[in-house]
Structure 1
Amino acid sequence: MSRRSRGLVATWAEIQRQQQRQEEAQRRAWAQHQREQERQQRAAERAAARSRREQQAAYRQRREDDARRRTEELDRQAEALRNLLVTGCASQAFNPDELKRPERVEPFDPGQLGVPVPMPDPGAYQPRQGGWVLGGSRQAQEQARARYEHDWHAAQAAEAQRQRQLAAYQQQYQRWADEQLAAIRRHNTEIGELVTALGRGEPGAVVEYFTAALYASRGWPDDFPRQVSASFDPAARQLVLNWELPGQTVVPEASAVRYMPSADRDKEVRRPAAERRALYRDVLAQCVLLVLRDLFAADRFGVLDSVALNGFVDDTDPATGHRAQVFLVTVMVSRTDFDRLSLAQVSAPECLVDGLRGQLSDRPDRRAGVRPARLPGEAGRAVVSHGAGMEPDLYEMDPVEFEELVADLFRAMGMQAVTTSRSGDGGVDVDALDPDPIRGGKIVVQVKRYRNTVPPSAVRDLYGTVQSTGANKGVLITTSSFGPGSHAFANGKPLTLVQGTELVDLLHRHGLSGRLGAAPRPAESGLDEEPEGEPDEATVLGLTWSGDVALDVCALVCRGSRVLGEDWFVFFNNPRTPDGSVRMARGSGRDRAAIQVCFERLPQRSDRLVLVAAVDPEAGPGADLSGFTDARIRLSDPAGTAADELDVSDGRTGETALVLGSFRKRANGDWDFVLGGRGYPDGLAALVEEYGIEVE
């Protein structure tokens, strides 16, 4: 019994030891697991801290790089100001031949009218089994032959119509080209007459020529003002002029930019006041010397013996507190004295004051003025002024201000003129009355602040307004240009078309200001501009439908349900987008309307091209879309090769505008067509308002 008892005790003790060993192993494993987790957490924290330090370092580096770039830009601006005279003297002197225009016009481009209508291929009409002679059923052969003959006659009729339209368009072009060439020759003749009068020393010709030389100077910075008043004293052979100088803001207040990491902001280091004042004074002296250089360099006819030049800033006179011209520089210099100078080597202030005995304000920053040696009015001749103040950009001007400017122009021309209210104006922007008893009468004026060529429909609209209001004349004024179709329609009618360049000239001639801004100007040719890119990049969306309803087909380039801007709404009065990626096109073959699209060139921010159709209220007054049936959009290349056809919804009674569908951009860059169908009883205006376009 005792031996068995000892065995049980030993067994029990062994079990206890095993349990203790297992528990100890579990405790060690758990402790190891805890240590491993702590190690991983510490490693993650170190990695996160390292990543934060790297991100902070990268962020700081970016901010410091940005501050350095801004500092370098400030240095470049200051260096450009210091070298203003040297840079200007390196530019080519003005040549009167630059005023002449080359005797060439835009070549004739018929576009789609120059592409013959393709004739149907007989092979495409043969029955599936056999041909017209052998095999197949006789009925199938007759049906195939009938389809072929029908399509052949239709193609022949379309080709005959194309040839008639092409001939008419070529006649329009030729008339327009002859008018353009005649205008160029008249302009060049006037330049020749100006040069002849200049050689005779006629004061008007002298002033006109030398002010043109100053405006055409390639050495004068674009952002500097160009306001001038001038007259010519023929007895002294002296040109007397006032020229506007840049204000002190032309010199940057900051000399450097520093990034402050502790505050996480940029700090501009102010340029010392003495340095800024000295640099501004140097800029004024350089400007005056550069103007003198441009004048004497342009005098290829020996007209000028001397120049009296006064430089002013258009600012507040500290003595009166009123806006006035404060003269900061004045000099009277003979050609002989000026020719002795080596402008590339001089110190501008010393040259002006000591070398030419001129006056330069000691404190131009405080508008401490000088007394002009001679003013233009003292030359005993009429004073000609150009460019008063910074001329407004007609492209960017508020529409109401633009209409008021046009009214001011008519008033400056001796007429009575008022702008109309923004609603209910009947298509009239300015009402004018010419008091002349012979050629005068009521004039209705429309203004189009366009960048693209004005379509002929706008000219037709103006003519309708002239007839409906009983006016004697209609004037259409635009910041862009007119095509040959517009000029052909206006020929022989009481209509006057004024394009952008002519408008600017009229404004200047009557003491008003305006410019066509830095953006590329519309082509002076008047022909529709072709979009950038190769023609084969484009897709033609041709619309066909049954019924006699006349439609206007339009397109909106959108992001979501909002159009990118008014310029991105392509319709009869805006025939193309600013980048030319979408434009109106001529329908070919069966197409009754067409729009040409370069999908690859649509703006990156756009994701939708919406196609809409609306009843033309002039061609079909009172009509609705009930006659718009069996409609399809035919996709083809510019050569007319069809790629696909898309069905669109039919119109409904009472609706006058319809969303045909939209091309929507997928994530991979492809464009898919989504069928529309929503109609609008209130017409195109109600439709486009939903896409964010304000309709007056």
Structure 2
Amino acid sequence: MTVASGIAFPVMGHLLPFDLDGGLGMARRKSLAAQLLQAYQAGKKEKAAAAKRAEAELARQARAAEREAAARARREAREEREAAQAWVRAQKEKQAQQSAESRKAEQIVRDLEKRQAARAKELEQKRRADAREQAAAERQAKQQTVEALRQEAAERTADVEKRIEALASVLGARPGGLHGLRLQVEETLSDGDLDGFAVGVEAALGSIGYPAGIGGERRAAFAPESRELILEIELPAQAVIPSVMQYRFKASAPPSVVPQPRKEAECRALYRDLVARLALRAIDEAFAVTPPSLVDGVAFMGKVHAKDRATGQAIEPCLVSVRVSREGFDELVLDEPELDPVASLRYLNAIVSQHPYDLEPVPPVVTFDLTRYKIAPERDVVAGLDSRPDLVAMDPIDFEHLIRRLFEKIGLKSWVTQASRDDGIDAVAVNEEPLIGGLCIIQAKRTKNVVSAETVRSVAGIVNDKSASKGIVVTTAWFGKASWDFAPRNRVELIDGRHLKSLLLEHLGIDALIGLPKLPPGWQTRDLS
């Protein structure tokens, strides 16, 4: 900085005056200049030192900063490494945990799969065991079924053979001891009752046992003037011959028992022989149960109850008829195994159907009638009845004829017996139906009171005595419990008043009244009116 009197130099930061006038001043000026220079140089050095120091400080600070930055970088790197390592460790731990959980889950899955596999294996083993058991059971059941069917086939074949054997032996297997029955028949002659003699013969013949399905109704009458017994028997129908030859087991799906049909020609031959055997046996039994002093011969007819295949009507064709004397019949050796029954009938000059299996009839040697019953003249009582007749108030004879007319309308052939010596029989009827037909004993009770059980038992006794197929008790009143219990067991049918009333309305169109003084047990008012 300059001033008016001199120059001022900065020295070490201070301004020193410099006097330009004088030597001293000069020296002073040189010294000052030196000082100034020195001061300047010192200042410069100081500045340089300061700058150096500043630079060193800056360098130091830079180094410190660098060191700090490096340390920070190292720290950050370390932190990053640590963080990375921590993350890695966390990831590893997580992965280890996940791996452990995965292994645990996999172990659980493996254990579950093992249990499931074991369970499945157990179930499969059980299923296979059940299947084996079921297969074994099915095989056993099938084997049992096969054995049962084979057994059934054998048994049914044996039954057929047994049946054929029974048919073939019907003549050779005649029962003995029939002369004991002759004594019973002879007892009926003690009072000279020839009608009772015929009834006794029927009862004796009816008591002789036959194989099932072969023995039929026997009807007998006696002609004292010719000393001839008229005998009519019911022959079995063609169905008695088994249409099956044998039964055999068929291993089909499903297995079964199949019949092997019998040839028609064989069926015809078997039936023809059976008819001949039954005819010879019946004649032999008739001679055996009758006294030779009374019966010299037998007029025999063998008939079949059947249906006409063309019309469907009931028919009774005669398949064999013959008149034979006791002497002539004794010539036959019926127990001879080689005896031909058909040839024996020809030997006796019998009239035999050429085609009995086809029910081709032959003329009977005599017409069978009901001569042993005293039949009263028929009386048409239906035409003379009121529109609503009182059954209890009817004439007893008219009532019996009304019952006869009712049974005729139902389909039976019926007759009213005479009042004297009728053995308690009011009417007789014949049912011509095959198998279930036969003679019916009818007793009509026109009464206001309950029919006694003794009356029903009496009719049952008459049925047995007359060898009838059944008895029928008809009444305008009612029956007690004892009668209802007894009747079905003894071939007796009961028709009380209300049932009779409905039958008259159904078959004869007669709406009858029953004038009972009191209402029977279990009846209703409409049953009377």
Which one of 456, 459, 463 corresponds to residue 500 of structure 1?
Answer: 459
Alignment partner of 1:31 out of 94, 107, 113: 113
Task: Give runs of aligned pairs for residues 232-311 of structure 1, distance below 5 A.
Answer: 232=223, 234-235=225-226, 237-257=227-247, 262=253, 267-311=258-302
Name the residue aligned to 2:352. 360
- What is the letter of the counterpart of residue 397 of structure 2? D
Cα offset for 1:25?
2.8
Give the TM-score normalised by structure 1.
0.42
- Structure in which a larger fraction of residues adopt strand: 1
Which one-letter code corresponds to 2:480 in the other structure? N
**SS of residue paired to 1:499:** helix
1:482 aligns with: 453
Q: Which runs of 5+ in 1 are unaligned?
A: 100-190, 378-382, 388-408, 446-472, 484-495, 518-570, 580-616, 622-682, 687-693
Q: Which has the higher helix share?
A: 2
The change in CA–CA distance for 1:314 and 1:6 in structure 2 (over 3 A counts) is closer
The answer to whether the 8 A contact 2:297-2:326 is kept is yes
User: Please, which of 459, 470, 490 is the counterpart of residue 515 of structure 1?
Assistant: 470
Give the equivalent residue in structure 1 for 2:62.
none
Counterpart Cα distance in 2 of 1:434 and 1:65: 62
User: 2: distance between equivalents of 1:245 and 1:290?
Assistant: 12
RMSD: 5.6
C-alpha contact (below 8 Å) 2:172/2:335 kept by paired residues = yes
- State the shift of 1:84 in Å: 1.4
Structure 2 residue identity aligned to 1:300: P
Q: Rate the CA distance shift 1:695–1:27 in 2: closer, same or farther, 3 A.
A: farther
Residue 434 (structure 1) aligned to one of 376, 397, 405: 397
In structure 2, do the counterparts of structure 1 residues 209 and 322 end up closer, same or farther at CA, with 3 Å as the change threshold? Answer: same
Query: Aligned pair 1:329/2:320, yes or no?
Result: yes
Is the CA contact 2:392–2:448 (under 8 Å) kept in the aligned structure 1? Answer: no
Aligned to 1:18: 100
Change (3 A) 1:324 1:227: farther
Amino acid corresponding to residue 170 of structure 2 in structure 1 = L
CA distance in 1 between partners of 2:450 and 2:168 (Å) = 37
Q: Which residue of 2 aligns with 1:574?
A: 481
Structure 1 letter corresponding to 2:453: F
Distance 1:90 1:618, change over 3 A: same
Instruction: Quote the offset at 1:249 in angstroms.
Output: 1.7
- Share of identical aligned residues, percent? 21
Distance 1:249 1:41, change over 3 A: closer
Quick one: distance in 2 between partners of 1:275 and 1:443? 50
Partner of 1:583: none
User: In the superposition, relative to structure 1, how do residues 11 and 93 fare at CA in structure 2: closer, same or farther (>3 Å)?
Assistant: farther
In the TM superposition, residue 363 of structure 1 has moved relative to its aligned partner by 2.0
Indicate if the aligned counterparts of 1:443 and 1:474 stay in contact, CA closer than 8 A.
no
Structure-2 separation of matches of 1:476 and 1:503? 21
What is the match of residue 189 of structure 2?
194
Cα deviation code 1:580-615 (max 9, x no counterpart): xxxxxxxxxxxxxxxxxxxxxxxxxxxxxxxxxxxx
Secondary structure at the counterpart of residue 308 of structure 1 = strand
Q: Is 1:87 matched with 2:173?
A: yes
Q: 1:503 to 1:207 in 2, by over 3 A?
A: closer
Alignment check: 8 A CA contact 1:213 1:294 kept? no
Change in Cα spacing, 1:304 to 1:430, as seen in structure 2 (3 Å) is farther
1:132-147 to structure 2, matched below 5 A, reads: none
**Alpha-carbon distance in 2 for matches of 1:477, 1:327:** 46
Query: Which structure 2 residues correspond to residues 67-216 of structure 1 after superposition, within 5 A?
Result: 68-90=154-176, 92-93=178-179, 95-98=181-184, 192=187, 194-195=189-190, 197=192, 204=195, 207-216=198-207
2:208 to 194, 212, 217: 217
1:292-691 to 2 correspondences below 5 Å: 292-315=283-306, 324-346=315-337, 347-350=339-342, 352-353=344-345, 355-372=347-364, 374-375=365-366, 383-384=369-370, 428=391, 431-434=394-397, 475=446, 482-483=453-454, 499-501=458-460, 504=463, 514-515=469-470, 573-574=480-481, 578=485
Q: Is the 8 A contact 2:244 2:261 kept in 1?
A: yes
**Is the 8 Å Cα contact of residues 380 and 401 (structure 2) preserved in structure 1?**
no
Residue in 2 that maps onto 1:468:
none
Relative distance call for 1:28 and 1:574 in structure 2 (3 A) is: same
Which amino acid is 1:89 matched to?
Answer: P
The one-letter amino acid of 1:349's match is: P
Instruction: Give TM-score, length-normalised by structure 2.
Output: 0.52
Contact 2:238 2:271 in 1 (8 A): yes
- Count of aligned residue pairs for this structure pair: 369
Q: 1:350 to 1:498 in 2, by over 3 A?
A: closer
Other structure's SS at 2:274 match: helix
Contact 2:450 2:479 in 1 (8 A): no
Q: Cα offset for 1:272?
A: 1.8
Larger CA Rg, structure 1 vs 2:
2
- Alpha-carbon shift at residue 369 of structure 1 (Å): 3.6
Q: Secondary structure at the match of 1:304?
A: coil
Post-superposition offset of 1:248: 1.0
Residues 214 and 294 of structure 1 are in contact (CA less than 8 Å); yes or no, is this contact kept in structure 2?
yes
